[in-house]
Amino acid sequence: MQPLILPPPAPNDLAVLPPLPPAPLEGRDTHGRFAPGNPGKPRGARSKIAAEIDGMLAEAAPDAFETIRLAARHNLAAAMWIIERVAPIRKGRPISLENFPPINGAADFAPALATIASSVANGDLSVDEAALAARVLREFLEVLETAHRLRAGMTP
C-alpha cells in the first residue's frame, strides 16, 4: 500500500487559528462556575421565561378559563390536567404580607398569626404557604422561649 500524499495547503489555510476561549463572566471562575463569595442569583429571583409565561397567562386568562370550564362540563379530570399543565403550583416563592406586625416578643405572635389567616381568607396565600409561615413563627417562638429560659437560669 502506498502512503497517502496530500497536496500542499492553500495559502489562506495556513492562517486559520483556533477560536479564542470566551472571556470569563463576571463573578465566575475560569471554568464558568460561581466564584467563592458569589452565591449566584438572589433568593426568590425568577427566570425570564417564568416571567414571560406569567405574562402570557395573564393575557390569556379569560380564554384559558373558558376552555377549562368547557372541559369541566364533560371531563373533570381533563380540566384538572389542563390547570396543572398551564399553571402549576409554585413552590418556594417569596411572600409579602401587608400589615405584618414586627415581632419583638411572644405577645406579637397572635397578631402575626391573625395576619396570616386573613391573607388566606383574602386569597393572597394558599393554605400550604400559610402553614409554612405559621411553622416559621412557631419555631421563632421556641427560640425566644429557649433564650428566656437560659437567661432565667432554667434548663431549656
pLDDT tens digits for 90-110? 667 777 788 888 888 888 899
Q: Is 10 inside any structural domain?
A: no
Q: Quote the pLDDT of residue 15.
A: 58
Q: Is 78 inside any structural domain?
A: yes
Q: Are residues 81 and 129 in the same domain?
A: no
Q: Are residues 80 and 58 in the same domain?
A: yes
Q: Quote the pLDDT of residue 13.
A: 53
Q: Are residues 85 and 109 in the same domain?
A: no
Q: Quote the pLDDT of residue 27.
A: 74
| pLDDT level of residue 134 (50, 70, 90 thresholds) | very high
All residues at 6 or more sequence positions from 145 whose CB lies less than 8 Å from its CB, including other chains: 106
| pLDDT level of residue 131 (50, 70, 90 thresholds) | very high
* Contact (Cβ atoms closer than 8 angstroms) between residue 120 and residue 126: yes
Q: Quote the pLDDT of residue 10.
A: 60
DSSP 37: T
pLDDT over 60 (residue 139): yes
Q: Are residues 83 and 108 in the same domain?
A: no
Q: Are residues 107 and 148 in the same domain?
A: yes
> Based on the structure, what is the number of domains in the chain?
2
All residues at 6 or more sequence positions from 71 whose CB lies less than 8 Å from its CB, including other chains: 78, 79, 82
Q: Is 26 inside any structural domain?
A: no
pLDDT over 80 (residue 25): no
pLDDT over 70 (residue 156): no
Q: Are residues 73 and 114 in the same domain?
A: no
- Residue-wise pLDDT for 47-78, tens only, equals 777 778 778 777 777 777 777 777 777 877 77
Q: Quote the pLDDT of residue 59.
A: 79
* Contact (Cβ atoms closer than 8 angstroms) between residue 146 and residue 156: yes
Q: Quote the pLDDT of residue 96.
A: 79
What is the value of pTM for the model shown?
0.43
Q: Are residues 74 and 107 in the same domain?
A: no
pLDDT over 90 (residue 135): yes
* Contact (Cβ atoms closer than 8 angstroms) between residue 115 and residue 101: yes
Q: Are residues 108 and 131 in the same domain?
A: yes
Q: Is 72 inside any structural domain?
A: yes
Strand partners, 34: 28
The domain of 126 spans 103-156
Q: Is 107 inside any structural domain?
A: yes
